[in-house]
């Protein structure tokens, strides 16, 4: 394959099958793939020696329709045209005809048909707790697929290189952090709102109730240790040893969280310190004050006279 600078490659894409086939032998392809700036698609997660060109299996530019190397594409009037591998113009370019194999024409303009996309989240999206997802529906049937941002922008702007008149695009905010039940209800509500606003029957069923898809579980604090005085086991004994803190269950026995049953730990509530009452000062004893003296009389005899 030719060399492409990284700036011209969109990597980390994935197909679950039914979308692409190897160009060399028309065998279906399932797995990671990447796109190049000139519109070509190759197998493998990133460019390497095993990469092989793959092409869509839905009607699009140069799509295999049989084992005789015939190909089809969508022209500017949305009619399917066929190339039988033999007819070329004066400069060697293929000449396409209608699907009746007559009336060859060299002016058919190929257009891209949207292909399915599986989001790969960036660290920034994970940190923000939400990201934007993009979808499209065929105008004449109830067929929904998820698409990437570039395809969405092309459909939205009615780019002449894509079949914008055959597909309706939309976008919605998808939450991935927080309470799991709340996330489920929030994402489901956003989908149902789109379904009603756009009149897209069955759009919510496309998700198959996976409204917590891409949900990021809160981190478990692991490899912690207590030397005692912090937790008790279910039988009331003081616990000493490794433990972890589960975001929903709380502290648990063991350094890491495992699927096998393991005990919850109960934090020990410190007892309030016993405070002795401060003794009140007692008044010191006082010496009784003697009563005041009343004075002495006089003695003497006297005779009157």
Taking only the tens place, the pLDDT of each residue in 146-171 is 999 999 999 999 998 899 999 999 99
Q: Is the separation of the CB atoms in 167 and 151 below 8 Å? A: no
Half-sphere exposure of residue 161, counting CA atoms within 13 Å on the CB side? 7
The tokens describing 117, both together, are: 């996309």
pLDDT of 276: 60
pLDDT of 106: 34
CA gyration radius, the chain: 42
pLDDT of 46: 82
Q: Is the separation of the CB atoms in 146 and 134 below 8 Å? A: yes
Question: How confident is the model over 196-222, as a mean pLDDT?
Answer: 91
DSSP string, 164-175: GGGEEEEEEEEE
Structure-model confidence comparison of residues 294 and 110, the more confident one: 110
Range with top average pLDDT, 113-117, 172-176, 254-258, 286-290: 172-176
Tell me the C-alpha distance between 242 and 223, whole Å. Answer: 7
* Domain ranges, ordered by start, for the chain: 6-98, 123-207, 221-267
For the chain, percent of residues with pLDDT exceeding 90: 38
Q: Tens digits of per-residue pLDDT, 4-19?
A: 666 678 887 888 887 8
Torsion 98-101-104-109 (CA) sign: positive
Res. 300 pLDDT band, cuts 50 70 90: very low
From the number of C-beta atoms within 10 Å of its C-beta (0-12, 13-18, 19+), residue 31 rates as: middle
Tell me the C-alpha distance between 193 and 199, whole Å. Answer: 10
Structure-model confidence comparison of residues 177 and 217, the more confident one: 177
- CB atoms < 10 A from the CB of 34, how many? 19
Helix or strand run (H / E) with residue 191: helix 180-198
């Amino acid at each position: 394959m030719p060399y492409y600078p990284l700036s011209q490659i969109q990597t980390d894409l994935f197909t679950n099958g039914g979308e692409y086939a190897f160009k060399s032998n028309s065998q279906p392809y399932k797995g990671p793939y990447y796109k190049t700036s000139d519109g070509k698609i190759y197998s493998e997660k990133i460019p390497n020696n095993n990469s092989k060109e793959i092409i869509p299996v839905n009607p699009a530019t140069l799509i295999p329709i049989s084992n005789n190397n015939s190909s089809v594409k969508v022209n500017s009037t949305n009619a399917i045209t066929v190339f039988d591998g033999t007819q070329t113009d004066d400069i060697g370019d293929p000449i396409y005809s209608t699907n009746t194999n007559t009336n060859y024409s060299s002016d058919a303009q190929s257009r891209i048909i949207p292909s399915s996309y599986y989001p790969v989240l960036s660290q920034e999206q994970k940190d923000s707790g939400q990201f934007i997802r993009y979808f499209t529906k065929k105008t004449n049937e109830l067929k929904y697929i998820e698409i990437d941002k570039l395809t969405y922008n092309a459909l939205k702007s009615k780019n002449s290189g894509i079949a914008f008149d055959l597909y309706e695009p939309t976008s919605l905010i998808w939450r991935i952090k927080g309470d799991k039940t709340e996330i489920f209800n929030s994402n489901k509500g956003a989908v149902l709102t789109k379904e009603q606003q756009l009149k897209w029957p069955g759009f919510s069923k496309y998700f198959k109730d996976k409204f917590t898809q891409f949900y990021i579980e809160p981190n478990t604090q692991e490899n912690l240790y207590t030397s005692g005085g912090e937790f008790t086991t279910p039988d009331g004994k003081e616990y000493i040893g490794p433990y972890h803190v589960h975001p929903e269950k709380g502290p648990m026995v063991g350094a890491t969280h495992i699927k096998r049953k393991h005990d919850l730990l109960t934090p020990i509530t410190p007892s309030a310190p016993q405070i002795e009452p401060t003794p009140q000062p007692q008044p010191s004893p006082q010496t009784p004050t003697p009563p005041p003296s009343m004075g002495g009389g006089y003695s003497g005899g006297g005779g009157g006279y």
